[in-house]
Amino acid sequence: MPTYIITGGSKGLGAALTQQLLQQGAAVHCISRSESETLRQEALRAEGELTFHAYDLAQTQGLDSLMERILGSIDEADTITLINNAGQLEPMTSIGRAGHDDLQRSLQINLVAPALLTNSFIRHTQALPIVKRVVHISSGAGKKPYPGWGAYCTAKAGLDMLTRCIGVEQENQPYPVEVFSIAPGVVDTDMQREIRAASKEDFPQVSRFVELQKNGDLQSPEATAKQLLNLLQANAFAQGEIADLRTKKPES
């Protein structure tokens, strides 16, 4: 049974990915603070299996044992995929104005937690002769600086470099773990609502995101999840690739 471990599966893009994977008959382990009742109901109807792990990713010291527990519970899997999807934009303000604790929490959730989960995942699965993949849900903000998004941009840039480093490290492994960073585009989720609610002082480009929504330029989480899973399952990504769903073609 294809098995997926998804952080932030309770809402937005992560919930859409989880729902579609359950419909495909996959086993999905979701890690988030809250559980989605909709997904719990979906799992009763669908062929797949859903296991929910209540966890705050800012608590980084427990992540190794969480990953060990999850991997230890997997009976038979022909593929295991970790999707580091959970993320937060806060603190949305310029560096110098952010609270220390908020800045630290943001980096823990957006960068440290995915790095630690990936480290545990590779350690525990390296010797397995099956398909193993790590997908980092990144952002165009990892390449382009946005004033007010210093913490978020830094974390996404870090995830992209982590992807590239693991990509070259895994090249000579007998059973490599594949790793990709994927920017999903502008997706109609709570995160976009938070962006539109920001003050111009904290996030000077807020009006651009208000316009994107007004003009109907946001993609639905369902369409984004479908595109991502189609590409992933068609092996469309190269080892260590930093991809953007807005420009990615199935054959490239």
Ligand X SMILES: NC(=O)c1ccc[n+]([C@@H]2O[C@H](COP(=O)([O-])OP(=O)(O)OC[C@H]3O[C@@H](n4cnc5c(N)ncnc54)[C@H](OP(=O)(O)O)[C@@H]3O)[C@@H](O)[C@H]2O)c1
Q: Which is nearer to ligand X, 34 or 172 (CB)?
A: 34
> Beta partners for 76?
none
For residue 91, is the peptide bond before it cis, meaning its omega torsion is within 30 degrees of 0? yes
Name the minimum Å distance from CB 179 to ligand X. 16
Tell me, residue by residue from 184 to 203, as one string, x for binding to ligand X by CB under 6 A and - for no binding.
Answer: x-xx-xxxx-----------
Name the minimum Å distance from CB 238 to ligand X. 21
Q: Which stretch binds ligand X (CB under 6 A): 18-26, 80-88, 123-131, 166-174?
A: 80-88
Q: Which stretch binds ligand X (CB under 6 A): 27-35, 164-172, 173-181, 234-242?
A: 27-35
How far is 57 from 136, CA to CA, in rounded Å?
A: 15
9 alpha-carbon distance from chain centroid: 9
How far is 215 from 207, CA to CA, in rounded Å?
A: 12
Q: Which is nearer to ligand X, 7 or 125 (CB)?
A: 7
Q: Is 8 in the site for ligand X (CB under 6 A)?
A: yes
Q: Is 157 in the site for ligand X (CB under 6 A)?
A: no
C-alpha dist (Å) from residue 1 to 48, 125, 226, 243? 9, 16, 19, 27
Cβ-contact 159, 218 below 8 angstroms:
no
Determine which residue in the list 4, 5, 11, 240 makes contact with ligand X, applying CB under 6 A. 11
Cα torsion 126, 24, 163, 202: sign: negative
Q: 62: which DSSP letter?
A: G
Q: What residue number has its CB nearest to ligand X?
A: 12
**Parallel, antiparallel, or unpaired: how do β-strands 242-244 and 3-7 relate?**
unpaired
Q: Which stretch binds ligand X (CB under 6 A): 21-29, 50-58, 119-127, 225-233?
A: 50-58
Q: Is 82 in the site for ligand X (CB under 6 A)?
A: no
Determine which residue in the list 3, 4, 5, 12 makes contact with ligand X, applying CB under 6 A. 12
Total Cβ atoms within 10 A of residue 62: 13
Name the minimum Å distance from CB 143 to ligand X. 12
Q: Which is nearer to ligand X, 167 or 185 (CB)?
A: 185
Q: Which is nearer to ligand X, 52 or 176 (CB)?
A: 52
Instruction: Determine the 3-state secondary structure of 16 from DSSP.
Output: helix
Instruction: Determine the 3-state secondary structure of 22 from DSSP.
Output: helix
Name the minimum Å distance from CB 240 to ligand X. 19
Cβ-contact 13, 87 below 8 angstroms:
no
Q: Is 146 a catalytic residue?
A: no
Q: Tokens 């420009």, residue?
A: 247
* 146 residue type, one letter: Y
Catalytic residue numbers, as ranges: 152
Question: Which positions touch ligand X (CB under 6 A)?
Answer: 7-8, 10-14, 32-34, 55-58, 85-88, 109, 137, 139, 183-184, 186-187, 189-192
